[in-house]
Structure 1
């Protein structure tokens, strides 16, 4: 069959991100003998022209639309990305009537039913599409409904959805590495601006899927399942050597958390050292699993930057979020990387369950110590509110507190902000003042001209307007299966 994959992610800030998921799936499809092409709209100025031209040239049987993010995930900047997916489907049908539209990607996996109705797609695939897409195409080629393909979803005539739950297993030994020739070469010549410097877009590699934590807000269980699926250490090192030998300048390990579990990350790094692999690389780090040995190995192999999933500096809030670390470990881990000369960026929430004036001030005080104004290699990125995903513990809390009703459509994101923060005008003013006083802290780009309280009101109005507009495109909701609920468990290595 002929398949055109289209990535609708056009977000260049904080930086452009390689569509590793889409390219991985396209590589499996090609390897199975199908004709597959990719179109990355990141670099296109005329989206419609690019889509129509690609469809006219290939005349695909299937157009697979990859949705990395549904929205900006920023309550203060409500931007929705999925209208472009709807337009891509419309352009493809207009150019080639009868083409089958299939949705996928991590963003799609978090709100599949709503996006199926909004885009009017025939099919969707949740979970590991690199495992499901090829058998899905086999069914389509035979003219058979792919009802038994893991992760498949489609709308029945009565308006309900047939949904086969994903099987979150992957055999890395059979999965072909993403073909680098499928990436748009403009990624590797583009320079983006960070807080204080210009950098190149990194090549990416994933060493494992999933996570062992149970953070109350995390929707990872919808994307990667529960437990951890490990790639073989030797395969990871082989891929990094290949990227290095091809001349790519910088690498990002895109695991949700690199150092969980710790033993596996140490195995990876020791293999890098054994092979003499040393190139600039970065990753996301859990502050609770940092040891001197880990930091030493990271530095020896070229790590120059880590992003901490810090969330809060108050132990009471961290307990409520079900984090595996406390304030003491945040400080200790930061100092280890600081002393090793590694850049550290902290990502923090304001308004987590239980957050109030005392906990917010405590968190700000911790960041004042670790990320003072003028610090050369440390930054703090604050987010007001936590995005709510159906099926998470945070969703349950939001409903229990009356912030949500429980039957919302999630085509437009919903956010949780503790009443102890959002209802305290004096605290909101203090937050604005403290963020603006530190040039290494960031909350919202327009804060110097529009006050925080004003921006919250504006953003809520914008979100309501966007939702009213998008809801007109959704079909009336029919009976649907109950949402997935996280039941974390540890899975063994393959």
Structure 2
């Protein structure tokens, strides 16, 4: 039995593509499978207990998509529900085996194993590991050789096998749409000026070629890129279209990296006459007229830029592959093509100060002015820190972190030149509120930014104290040596 604990509907609900992909693989291997998605349940305990009592699973796999809100101003932790699901399942079926997985789990596996009290966890590509893992359980043998597996051994430590970030797409079953809760496809969510349906999803590749200092994707998908066959991607899109799904999202971390592969995918769409509304994440540094033309011809209506900053000095510190001029050029190309653009930006990155923040705000004022019908900017104060990233190293070197924190509650990096500049924080608040196409925090009109920072810190400390009470007193195991230099110079 697979259980998705993601209940986040803000912005829009997201299909649990990873969990359903794994469930599809497991079912194809001959196992009886039941999927429970708590997104739509009002009484979680009742839903879990009834499903376990009816299905009587031997194994309950809990999919953790997100550990937290990733918003310093709105500290919300989602993992207590995973702990409750495990408790409810064991209450209904004593002796059931609980296994954790999902991208959120892969970023903080030790802490979540301790917190939930799971027997096993799978990091990395569970669609490659879950079937051999279940084969071990069926035989009654320990799954010590399964890639990505983690479990406790008699001395109290964890046995861990590093994930093998390889996938044979030819053998990987596509997620069966029948395993999704049908309520996804009848639900409408509100955007700034319209009501939209939850899109169907497809992933054309795993991984990324960049080494942004804050990104934890290497823990989820490994380094490098694993490509699906272009024709298989087009086959899947045709199938989704023929089944009546009207809107598509390509959920690659970044669709247009590498550029040549994205162009190949879209050329295949054009060759087959595929045209339907779709969206994706875009890197501003790899936008060409041909790419935009192909996106228009195939129905793209919305792109989300990982813009981060508009100051070249800060972009270099973040190890981005683009600069301000490319952000402006890419935005204008999509704008002229009639494709809606949304920018995601950080405030307080390494190197950020009053001048760089003002420059970023000034550039966004030109690209996303008040009243612009097809452009928006989403600002985030601070960058979430993940152990093993170059940002984690920077935070420790600057004394913002000690290096031995538990990460079940998130830690954030905000440059001192921003967080300690009261006048700048007031200016940020004033400029965000003056633009109806910008968003930083929903309550900013009633609670000032400086006050919200103070409140959020107190809330985070309270949540951390509650959650740490469930964890044993031990320091998390270090990451494998191959991962500790991720994103650092000289790698």
Structure 1-normalised TM-score?
Answer: 0.97
Q: CA RMSD in A?
A: 1.0
Partners of 1:248 and 1:145 lie apart in 2 by 42
Deviations 1:199-245 (A, max 9, x none): 00000000000000000000000000000000000000000000111
Partners of 2:193 and 2:88 lie apart in 1 by 40
> Does the 8 A contact of 2:2 with 2:36 survive in 1?
yes
Does residue 357 in structure 1 map to residue 385 in structure 2?
no
Q: What's the counterpart of residue 230 of structure 1?
A: 227
The correspondence for 2:84, drawn from 84, 87, 94, is: 87
Q: What's the counterpart of residue 388 of structure 2?
A: 391
The correspondence for 1:429, drawn from 399, 423, 426, is: 426
Partners of 2:126 and 2:476 lie apart in 1 by 25
> Does the 8 A contact of 2:20 with 2:179 survive in 1?
yes
Partners of 2:478 and 2:445 lie apart in 1 by 46
> Does the 8 A contact of 2:311 with 2:360 survive in 1?
yes
Q: What's the counterpart of residue 492 of structure 1?
A: none
Does residue 278 in structure 1 map to residue 275 in structure 2?
yes
> Does the 8 A contact of 1:226 with 1:488 survive in 2?
no
The correspondence for 1:36, drawn from 18, 24, 33, is: 33
Q: What's the counterpart of residue 69 of structure 2?
A: 72
SS at match of 2:403: coil
Q: What's the counterpart of residue 108 of structure 1?
A: 105
Q: What's the counterpart of residue 413 of structure 1?
A: 410
Alpha-carbon offset, residue 475 of structure 1: 1.7
Moved over 4 A (4+): 486-489
The runs of 5 or more residues in structure 2 that have no matched partner are none
Does residue 96 in structure 1 map to residue 97 in structure 2?
no
SS at match of 2:15: coil
Partners of 1:123 and 1:55 lie apart in 2 by 19
Alpha-carbon offset, residue 479 of structure 1: 7.1
The correspondence for 1:450, drawn from 424, 444, 447, is: 447
Q: What's the counterpart of residue 244 of structure 1?
A: 241
Does residue 45 in structure 1 map to residue 54 in structure 2?
no
> Does the 8 A contact of 1:288 with 1:326 survive in 2?
yes
Partners of 2:474 and 2:122 lie apart in 1 by 20
Partners of 2:64 and 2:485 lie apart in 1 by 22
The correspondence for 1:26, drawn from 23, 38, 41, is: 23
The correspondence for 2:187, drawn from 171, 175, 190, is: 190
Aligned length: 486
SS at match of 2:33: strand
The runs of 5 or more residues in structure 1 that have no matched partner are 490-494
> Does the 8 A contact of 1:9 with 1:42 survive in 2?
yes
> Does the 8 A contact of 2:390 with 2:486 survive in 1?
no
Does residue 402 in structure 1 map to residue 394 in structure 2?
no
Partners of 1:254 and 1:295 lie apart in 2 by 18
Does residue 329 in structure 1 map to residue 326 in structure 2?
yes
Partners of 2:304 and 2:389 lie apart in 1 by 24
Alpha-carbon offset, residue 476 of structure 1: 2.3
> Does the 8 A contact of 2:200 with 2:247 survive in 1?
yes
Does residue 485 in structure 1 map to residue 487 in structure 2?
no
